[in-house]
Amino acid sequence: MIPIAKPIIGEDEVRAVTEVLRSGVIAEGQKVKDFEAAFSQYSGTEFAIAVNSGTAALHAALLAHGIGPGDEVITTPFSFVATANSVQFTGAKPVFADIKEDTFNIDPESIIEKITPKTKAIIPVHLYGQSADMKAIMDIAEDKNLVVIEDACQAHGATFEGKSVGSFGEGTFSFYPTKNMTTSEGGMITTNDKNVAEKARMIRSHGSKQRYLHEMLGFNLRMTDICAAIGLVQLGKIGDFNRSRINNAHYLTRDLQKINGLVLPHVDKRCGHVFHQYTVRIRGDLSRDEVVSSLNKMDIGTGIYYPLPIHKQPYYKELGYNDSLPIAEAASKEVLSLPVHPSLNKLDLETICGKMRKIMN
């Protein structure tokens, strides 16, 4: 089976973890500080705050901006549910804008339509490793005085007009094993705003700057030194990992040209796409689900991100959401992700393309 994702953990990660375990300092310590310093440099931001998941990063970034009950936050329904749930945690209301047909990212024109006097923030998601239209989004945010929290959980190293994602507004990253780099579980907030950084650090650790002095309500969102040690090693490899993903994507795109009913990924010229996923649309005689089942029978792993848009999830329907977001809804029925991860070799890529051609012809 060629899997849809495969984390690459080497002997150097094993050594780094062992070193932390032997040191006796296994919760948040110097390794977390070192990882934060390295990550802020990597993302071109002044501050980075490590937390224990991408979800925690989104949650803390919203709280650090004081977002809560009575506020609205505009985001995309075509994402992992954590994006909207983080808004829900704060007591604010997620409001869904539709997406662009070609990139699957939030549509700035739809954002404008959803703005009300209650709107406080926008959460664009850089889906599949490609930046949302940060030019248009930052223009809207400036014009309407809105906070921008980028969900870059799938986009470590991606750029828009040469600038790193996570450095336009506040950035939020995940280090879950299937992401472009991992710490096992983990997350990071990036920001250039000193106050936001300080608030996020307090929220991470029960609202305290000074031990046993609690100035606000916080949580335990801390990363461990064990995770940070893995992250430091992985950060040294992310450039190679991403180059390999990009090369694999180029191979797939070269080989899968001009197949009826197969729409290949669209790369916006302004974007440095890091191909967290290589996602096609199935629009021919075969249904997406038929293609999936054939590929799986031929030992090729596939992913569907995401089969149900967030506003159609049972939990959100129960909350009363019944928006019509036709582009997101159509995408959820047609998308199919093929393996693109750095563990693939040339034979794997040939196999994927060969089987895909066979099925689609």
Ligand X SMILES: *Cc1c(COP(=O)(O)O)cnc(C)c1O
Q: For strands 262-263 and 271-272, give the pairing.
A: unpaired
Residues 164-193 that bind ligand X (CB under 6 A): 174, 176, 187
Token pair for residue 89? 């945690």
Q: Nearest approach, Cβ of 52 to ligand X (angstroms)?
A: 8
Q: Is 85 or 351 the residue whose CB approaches ligand X more closely?
A: 85
The stretch among 62-70, 103-111, 151-159, 289-297 that binds ligand X (CB under 6 A) is 151-159
The stretch among 137-145, 147-155, 312-320, 342-350 that binds ligand X (CB under 6 A) is 147-155
Burial of 239 (0-12, 13-18, 19+ CB in 10 A): exposed
SS3 (DSSP) at 221: coil
**Phi, psi of 143, rounded to the nearest 5 degrees:** -60, -40
Please, are residues 191 and 43 in contact by the beta-carbon 8 Å criterion? Answer: no
CA neighbours within 13 Å on the CB side: how many for 21?
A: 7
Among residues 53, 131, 182, 234, the one that binds ligand X under rule CB under 6 A: 53
Q: Decide: is 83 part of the binding site for ligand X (CB under 6 A).
A: yes
Read off the amino acid at residue 277: Q
Which among 35, 59, 66, 57 is positioned nearest to 195, based on CA atoms? 66
Q: For strands 119-123 and 93-96, give the pairing.
A: unpaired
Q: Nearest approach, Cβ of 173 to ligand X (angstroms)?
A: 8
Q: Is 79 or 110 the residue whose CB approaches ligand X more closely?
A: 79
Q: Decide: is 54 part of the binding site for ligand X (CB under 6 A).
A: yes
CA 300 from centroid of its chain's CA atoms: 24
DSSP string, 107-145: PHHHHHHH--TTEEEEE-B-GGG----HHHHHHHHHHHT
Query: CA-to-CA distance for 261 and 75, rounded, in angstroms?
Result: 30
Q: Nearest approach, Cβ of 53 to ligand X (angstroms)?
A: 3
Q: Is 5 or 259 the residue whose CB approaches ligand X more closely?
A: 5
Q: Is 79 or 302 the residue whose CB approaches ligand X more closely?
A: 79
Residues 90-129 that bind ligand X (CB under 6 A): 125
The stretch among 47-55, 242-250, 312-320, 347-355 that binds ligand X (CB under 6 A) is 47-55
Please work out the total of residues on this chain that contact ligand X, with binding judged by CB under 6 A. 14
Q: Nearest approach, Cβ of 115 to ligand X (angstroms)?
A: 22
* Alpha-carbon separation of residue 260 from 173, 291, 360 (angstroms): 36, 13, 7
Among residues 64, 137, 153, 233, the one that binds ligand X under rule CB under 6 A: 153
The stretch among 11-19, 26-34, 150-158, 309-317 that binds ligand X (CB under 6 A) is 150-158
Query: CA-to-CA distance for 313 and 255, rounded, in angstroms?
Result: 36
Q: Is 169 or 262 the residue whose CB approaches ligand X more closely?
A: 169
* Contact residues: ligand X, CB under 6 A: 53-55, 79-80, 82-83, 125, 151, 153-154, 174, 176, 187
